[in-house]
Amino acid sequence: MSSFPCLVRFVSGSGQVRYRLGDRLVDRYLEFVAGRSRPNTLRAVAFDLKTFFTVVGKDPVEVTAVDVFEFLAHQRGDRGVVRLADRESGLSARTIARRLSSVSGLYAYLIARGDTPVRASPVPRGLSTRREGGSKRSRTVPLVRVPRTLPKILAPDEVDRLLGALRTGRDNAMVLAMVLAGLRRCEVLGLRIADVRVGDRRLFVAEGKGGHQRVVPVAGRFLQALGGYLHDELPPAAPTDRTGRNNSGVGGSFAGQAVPLMASGTRDWPVADCRAWRLARKTDIITIHI
């Protein structure tokens, strides 16, 4: 336990990225998560567990509900300083809820194994209320209340100003794929040329969130931007089978060509107070759903 929790990233024999924290049971759980989840989920769970056990400072089998509540208080931070956006302090409610979910998943796994001292999860499902009748779920309130907020989107004029500030046709095509087809940034980076169905004006998303596939319609403006990029910017010798971050295409980043799609990849434009510019600087890459 002297080196626990120490997050170690390594590549397995099959070439997959894996994580260790230095505890046998926790590492076995991370192997279990790796077999059923996407890489981003695995990375988030590994970091969440590292954060939890760093704060708690106990062996996983010795954690109690008191430790979980102390962790919650630690994550919420000093209540003397609150954010204007959500009137909360410390980490956001969504982040805290996700970390609790990661910890709860670990103890559900330990209980299911049946060969550990853990017989009950130290993470409470919620706090009981005085409400009578109904289901058990309706008589409890969650430990963390996650606000249900609408997504923040750019106005049409802000989208036009953002597109006008991009340096390359590649970046223009990437943003249009997000604006006109609702693709996430990771989905744009994973596009292949074969996934662009020009005749049907459709895009095939092979690696969507959660590993799901789907076909989405796209406007001709995106197809025109993509064609211009392939004709004017793509090097003749570049591979075109994949448009992702490690190859050429919509999301490609290759020597002597387009810079990454970030705030620093835009022209110098006098809109420092523009909301689109502030969002670009805050998120590095703007994901737009309409």
Question: Among the listed ranges 6-10, 91-95, 131-135, 190-194, which one has the minimum average pLDDT value?
Answer: 131-135
Residue 115 has pLDDT above 80, yes or no: yes
- With cut-offs at 50, 70 and 90, classify the pLDDT of residue 120: very high
For the chain, give the mean pLDDT.
80
Give the CA radius of gyration of the chain: 23
Query: In this predicted structure, what is the pLDDT of residue 254?
Result: 29
Q: Which is nearest to 169 in space by CA: 262, 268, 286, 249?
A: 249
For the segment 81-91, the average pLDDT, to the nearest whole number, is 71
For the segment 44-72, the average pLDDT, to the nearest whole number, is 96
Which string of DSSP letters, residue by residue, matches 160-218?
Answer: HHHHHHB-SHHHHHHHHHHHHH---HHHHHT--GGGEETTTTEEEESS-GGG--EEEE-
- With cut-offs at 50, 70 and 90, classify the pLDDT of residue 264: very low
- Tell me how many degrees the CA angle 201-202-208 measures, rounded to the nearest 5: 160
**How many CB atoms are closer than 10 A to CB 248?**
25
- With cut-offs at 50, 70 and 90, classify the pLDDT of residue 216: very high
- With cut-offs at 50, 70 and 90, classify the pLDDT of residue 144: confident
Query: In this predicted structure, what is the pLDDT of residue 162?
Result: 92
How many angstroms separate the CA atoms of 179 and 160, rounded? 11
Compute the Cα dihedral for 137, 143, 148, 154 and give only its sign. Answer: negative
Residue 265 has pLDDT above 80, yes or no: no
Would you give the distance in Å from CA 62 to the centre of its chain?
Answer: 31
Each residue's pLDDT tens digit, 17-38? 999 999 999 999 999 999 998 8
Side chain identity at residue 3, one-letter code: S
CB 136 within 8 A of CB 126: no
Residue corresponding to tokens 């056990």 = 53
Highest mean pLDDT among 51-60, 75-84, 131-140, 203-212: 51-60
How many angstroms separate the CA atoms of 25 and 111, rounded? 11
- With cut-offs at 50, 70 and 90, classify the pLDDT of residue 266: very low
Residue 60 has pLDDT above 70, yes or no: yes
Q: What is the 3-state secondary structure (H, E, C) of the chain?
A: CCCCCCCEEEECCCCCEEEECCCHHHHHHHHHHHCCCCHHHHHHHHHHHHHHHHHHCCCHHHCCHHHHHHHHHHHHCCCCCCCCCCCCCCCCHHHHHHHHHHHHHHHHHHHHHCCCCCCCCCCCCCEECCCCCCCCHHHEECCCCCCCCCCCCCCHHHHHHHHHHECCHHHHHHHHHHHHHCCCHHHHHCCCHHHEECCCCEEEECCCHHHCCEEEECCHHHHHHHHHHHHHCCCCCCCCCCCCCCCCCCCCCCCCCCCCCCHHHECCCCCCCCHHHHHHHHHCCCCCCC
- With cut-offs at 50, 70 and 90, classify the pLDDT of residue 145: confident
**How many CB atoms are closer than 10 A to CB 102?**
22
Q: Which one is predicted more confidently, 135 or 30? A: 30
**pTM exceeds 0.75, yes or no:** no
Residue 277 has pLDDT above 50, yes or no: no
Helix (H) or strand (E) holding 265: none
Residue 138 has pLDDT above 70, yes or no: no
Query: In this predicted structure, what is the pLDDT of residue 146?
Result: 85
